[in-house]
Structure 1
Amino acid sequence: MQFDRNLKIAPSILSADFANFGAEIEAVEREGADWIHVDVMDGHFVPNLTFGPPLVKAIRKHIKTVMDVHLMIAPVDPYIDAFADAGADILTAHVEAGPHLHRTLQAIRGADMTAGVALNPGTPASAVAEVLDLVGLVCVMTVNPGFGGQSFIDMTAKVRDLRAMIGDRPVHIEIDGGVTPKTAPLVRAAGADVLVAGSAVFSGGSVADPAPYGANIRAIRTACDTLV
């Protein structure tokens, strides 16, 4: 996976039609998605239950871009190999999910995936200071994890801190939660380069009428491109 800091829009399939994932993924990629974001929730670490490795494996063949798998689960380590086998390109674990973050990230890298680390809104940037050389992505939660469609929590100061900490390392800063054409420029200006968007991308469209997906993606991208 070649690294660059160009803006990437990563639609979250949490907001897609669950009965039609394959076609939804193909449609949103044709309409301009850069990555596909897959939110895995366990009903324990977060108050919702979504997908496991079998579903991730089933949709892998429909994804032509990057499969960005975000684990909102605890523990993480017992499931790393299963998500590697399912075809995840990036596997992100939360700082808050367990006491041995360094070991978890090493295990993800050892399974030939890019390791990501996620921070809840109440967790400071300093929590990842000692693992930045192990990761290819830091995910800043701009909602409390567990459900789609929540309102944006302003984490721009944290994003700026992370950008300064990362320096010239090839590490993406990803934003997850409440991303819209209004909020996207705030985090982009602070240093983020991957924007996860669920309802803001999938709203108004369908497999039968995917044009709104493209319009929604372009609206986010244009809002960021017009930064002064």
Structure 2
Amino acid sequence: MRVLVGIPWRSQPHRIYAHDLTVQRYRALLPDADIVDVDTDHEPFCLAACRNKAVWMAEAGGYDVVVLADADTLPEQRPLLEAIEQARVSRFVHLPYTEYRSLRRGGTDQHLAGVPLEDCDHLTVDGACSGIYVVKPSTWWTHGGQDERFRSWSPEDAAWLCAHRTLLGEPVRHDGRVYALHHESPVKSGPAYKAGYALIHRYLQAEGDQAAMRALIAEAVTCEESTSLTGG
């Protein structure tokens, strides 16, 4: 089975160490996978567009499964391998965790000093649905991928979950944990931030209504095509 690990990435000095640890982690856990950094020409940075682009790359390259891997989130091997194996023949997106641990600064410093991830101080983020997605490329598009109108720090992951739940059902979770490393928080203000929260409100209103959700996704796709958002 051919697996592509796509890491959305635009270099920032305070995040380089986390990116490098993430790449090392995937090389160790998936030695046969291809690992690529993915960016687009969006300003500000568009995480959703990077994820969509990684899926396009996987599709064009004939990969069976793509792992969309944030550049600061470390998975465990068993749930990751389970997710990859099942996603190959699945109509759902798979999340290789049931527990999302944010290590914050204290836990990250412990890990950098040699403490095993599972023993590091952490905050458990209930209901997390981001960090790592495992999916067959064609499955990603059945519920619209991710909305590239979300820019900079935005709730594109929550919007994605609304769309997945409405059009496909719950994503499949695999028992295990992921560990989010510390980095400086992006600015949560400004036009992109406000626009993101106005847009997620529309997704929340459409959740459970397939016609409304499909219309919202179609609107996003039209926007992406008109501004070449799937390139980069």
TM-score normalised by the shorter chain: which range applies?
under 0.3
Higher-RCO chain (CA-CA 8 Å, sequence separation at least 6):
2
Larger Cα Rg: Structure 1 or Structure 2?
2
TM-score, normalization by structure 2: 0.25
TM-score, normalization by structure 1: 0.26
